[in-house]
Amino acid sequence: MKQISLLMKILVCISQVPDTTTKIAFSDNNTTFNTQGVTMIINPYDEWYSLVRALELTEAGTAATVNLVTVGKADAEPVIRKALALGGDEAIRIDTDSNDPYVVAAQIAAYAKSENYDLVLCGKESIDYNNGVVGGMLAEMLDMNYIGFATKIDVAGNEVTVAREIEGGEEVDTCAFPVVISCQKGVAEARIPNMRGIMAARTKPLKVVAPADVQPLSQIVSYEMPPAKTGVKLISADNMDELVSLLHTEAKVI
Amino acid sequence: MSVIVLAEHTQGVFKKKTLELVQYAAGIAQSMGTTTTAVVLGDATDAEMQGLGQYGANKVLQVADSRLDTLNARAYSKALIAAAQKEGAKVVVAPHDVTGKAVAPRVAAALKAGMVAGAVSAPDLSKGFVVKKNVFAGKAFAFVNVTSDVKVITLMPNTFQVKAGAGSASVEKLDVAFEDKDFSVKVKAVNKVTGEVPLSEAELVVSGGRGMKGPENWGILEDLAHELGAALACSRPVADSHWRPHHEHVGQTGGTIRPNLYIAVGISGAIQHLAGVNGSKTIVVINKDPEAPFFKAADYGVVGDALEIVPKLTEAVKKFKANH
Ligand SMILES: Cc1cc2nc3c(=O)[nH]c(=O)nc-3n(C[C@H](O)[C@H](O)[C@H](O)COP(=O)(O)OP(=O)(O)OC[C@H]3O[C@@H](n4cnc5c(N)ncnc54)[C@H](O)[C@@H]3O)c2cc1C
Ligand SMILES: Nc1ncnc2c1ncn2[C@@H]1O[C@H](COP(=O)(O)O)[C@@H](O)[C@H]1O
């Protein structure tokens, strides 16, 4: 068996998303997400968990290289620089934009194919489109294993041990490299970039790569806001029988 | 041509969300003028599999390999791809749960199929193949048009009512040429939370926040949950303070749930919390502060001290159950 631990090369997939407190609005007859006044941030799962765990693995001497990749136009650069301020050796921006997860995965796969990454980390989902699809697609395209919803990632020798969420509990798996893992809470503790990191990030390489020729397989044609709640019905604290009766006869949930 | 559906089971027992999924797939098949094939991985009895016919499956393809008794993304997707190819599938449907999310993207990539993750509607065929899904953590919906020849959909559980009809599915075995690498992810340990309703599947959820004051007060929430047959959840600070285990934490950084009833006790209703529970059908909020933001997202509200109200609610539920 090939001993790869010291040479381990990690790719962290970073997406940029609207800040969680953003008020969501659409324009052009509900066909476009209105980005006016919206602050973009690193997708929290990518920032807090995948990236930090990758950095911990380099600090522990397990990994040699951490590359960051984002599929996005030039407007994604501030966010990828922010990610570099936390750590990582080099960032790659694939110069196209899409909200079709197939396109995103195919673009990352086209780049990663010749780079021989041992470990590809992504987040459990992007908090904007809530797909959770890119990681699994990427694994198929790169012919790698895939473990979703990791809560703990440990590397020993040429094997990774992953705790992950399953239906109604947790499972511990082991797997050989290369592997794609999607990360969630538990994998690492969020870090705050320090001044040294921010300075260093300015001079770290940010490579812009031309996109591969990939046709989208889906398009978002329009958006809709959920119907507004008609207003809360207040029930007196002394009348829980009424609440139970409303839940039965009106809401029909019990 | 056909619609393929991944029919998840636990030792041969098909859960409600699987029946819902089979019914959903059969609805799509009907609108496309084709048939529905359910794919069953691992062991299940013929009678159980034939029963999927009551929910619209015409045929079951069983891949009876005991290595499929635990989730393995690579092997599962290989089996599903084999079934899709055998049946000439135009649509592949899987649940939007831990299993479906691991398997469906692989299948979609292999079949060059456009994918809708977390669908909440049947495809609208009058405008192409347009499916509605949640985006921005339940704050909005998007309509996605899938343009590839084959389409993959994961369906958000608890979206549709399930109704059993008549019918029995034929059962066939499907042989899949697995390789060793399909099983290179090895399961070392499984820790299932036993004796409780798993949160992700629960139709009723009782959830507590910092307003519960401390873990010593959780007994009253447990009593209420027990009376209702509900699962327990909590806000993030509650899990962070180790009052409750982390798998109960819901919200943007925790689990996303869509129960029929969500009872939020002593939770302020921060946007990051709402992100995980917005999709609940009915929301009840119990909070001593009438200005708590959660009331804006609630259907029913009770203003007052949770420690007094919750036991009263539990009594009322008991009384209700005795009379129904
Ligand atoms: C990026 C990010 C991600 C986050 N992700 C999550 C997440 O996934 N999930 C999550 O929950 N939070 C998350 N948070 C935290 C979130 O912003 C809130 O801080 C958190 O939800 C508050 O929890 P709480 O409502 O339990 O506590 P508090 O905000 O302290 O509210 C306690 C409530 O209890 C009420 N109360 C007090 N005493 C009583 C009483 N005796 N009876 C009845 N009511 C009483 C109070 O009026 C108050 O409304 C996140 C924050 C950030 C920045
Ligand atoms: N545009 C993108 N560029 C790089 N990585 C992405 C992009 N979109 C999604 N990802 C990665 O895929 C994960 C899941 O995203 P999604 O499938 O969009 O929910 C994210 O947490 C990222 O790690």
pLDDT in tens, A116-142: 999 999 999 999 999 999 999 999 999
- Secondary structure class of B97 (helix, strand, coil): coil
Question: What average pLDDT score do residues A201-220 get?
Answer: 97
How many CB pairs below 8 Å do chains A and B form together? 275
Q: Does any CB of chain A come closer than 8 Å to the CB of residue B134? A: yes
Confidence of residue A5 (pLDDT cuts 50, 70, 90): very low
**In A, which residues are within 8 Å of B144 by CB distance?**
218-221
Ligand 1 atom closest to the Cα of residue B238 is 26
The residue type at A110: A
Confidence of residue A33 (pLDDT cuts 50, 70, 90): very high
- Asked if residue B117 lies in contact with residue A101, where contact means CB atoms within 8 angstroms, the answer is yes
Where chain B has pLDDT below 50, the residues are none
Residue nearest to atom 30 of ligand 1 (CA): B210
In chain B, domain spans: 2-183, 199-322
Q: Beta strand B186-192 with A169-176: parallel, antiparallel or unpaired?
A: antiparallel
> Which residue from A minimizes the CA distance to B185?
A175
What pLDDT does residue A95 have? 98
Q: Which letter does DSSP use for residue B278 in this model?
A: T
| Span from the CA of B297 to the centroid of ligand 2 (angstroms) | 29
Answer yes or no: same fold for B2-183 and B199-322: yes
- Four-residue CA torsion sign, B98, B102, B107, B112: positive
What pLDDT does residue B191 have? 85
Q: Which of residues 285-314 of B touch A (CB under 8 A)?
A: 285, 295-305, 308-309, 312-313
- Residue found under tokens 């809708």: B116
- Asked if residue A218 lies in contact with residue A100, where contact means CB atoms within 8 angstroms, the answer is yes
B37: phi then psi, degrees, rounded to nearest 5 = -120, 120
What pLDDT does residue B196 have? 67
Indicate the pTM of the whole model.
0.89
Partners of A67 in the beta sheet?
A11, A90
- What's the mean per-residue pLDDT of chain A? 93
Confidence of residue A6 (pLDDT cuts 50, 70, 90): low
Count Cα atoms within 13 angstroms, Cβ side, for B300.
Answer: 24
Under the phi-then-psi rule, with left for phi > 0, alpha for psi from -120 to 50, and beta for the rest, what region is B91? beta
Nearest to B145 among A130, A221, A254 (CB): A221
Non-local (6+) Cβ contacts of A151 within 8 A are A163, A164, A165, A170, A184, A185, A186, A187
Pocket probe mutation, ligand 2, options A15, A42, A66, A70, max atoms within 8 Å of Cβ: A15
A125: phi then psi, degrees, rounded to nearest 5 = -165, 160
> Which residue from A minimizes the CA distance to B115?
A218
User: What whole-number distance in Å separates Cα of residue A145 and Cα of residue A147?
Assistant: 7
- Residue A4 predicted with pLDDT over 60: no
Question: What average pLDDT score do residues A232-249 get?
Answer: 96
Which residues of B contribute to the annotated binding site for FAD?
Answer: 210, 235-236, 266-273, 287
Domain B2-183: which topology?
A: Rossmann fold (3.40.50)
**In B, which residues are within 8 Å of A127 by CB distance?**
136-137, 252, 275
- Residue A2 predicted with pLDDT over 70: no
What pLDDT does residue B21 have? 98
- What's the mean per-residue pLDDT of chain B? 94
> E strand or H helix at A146, and its extent?
strand A145-156
Count Cα atoms within 13 angstroms, Cβ side, for B126.
Answer: 0
CATH code for the domain defined by B199-322: 3.40.50.1220
What pLDDT does residue B195 have? 60
**In A, which residues are within 8 Å of B284 by CB distance?**
243, 247
Task: Kindly list the distances between the CA atom of residue A178 and the CA atoms of A10, A121, B4, B78, in Å, as whole numbers in the listed order.
Answer: 10, 11, 30, 18
What pLDDT does residue A70 have? 98
Confidence of residue A226 (pLDDT cuts 50, 70, 90): confident
Residue A72, token pair as written in the block: 């996005």
What pLDDT does residue A85 have? 97
Nearest to B117 among A131, A140, A219 (CB): A131
Q: Which letter does DSSP use for residue A23 in this model?
A: P
Cβ contact A253–B308 (<8 Å): no
What pLDDT does residue A1 have? 45
**In B, which residues are within 8 Å of A44 by CB distance?**
252-253
A138: phi then psi, degrees, rounded to nearest 5 = -60, -45
> Which residue from A minimizes the CA distance to B262?
A253
Count Cα atoms within 13 angstroms, Cβ side, for B174.
Answer: 26
User: What whole-number distance in Å separates Cα of residue A74 and Cα of residue A45?
Assistant: 22
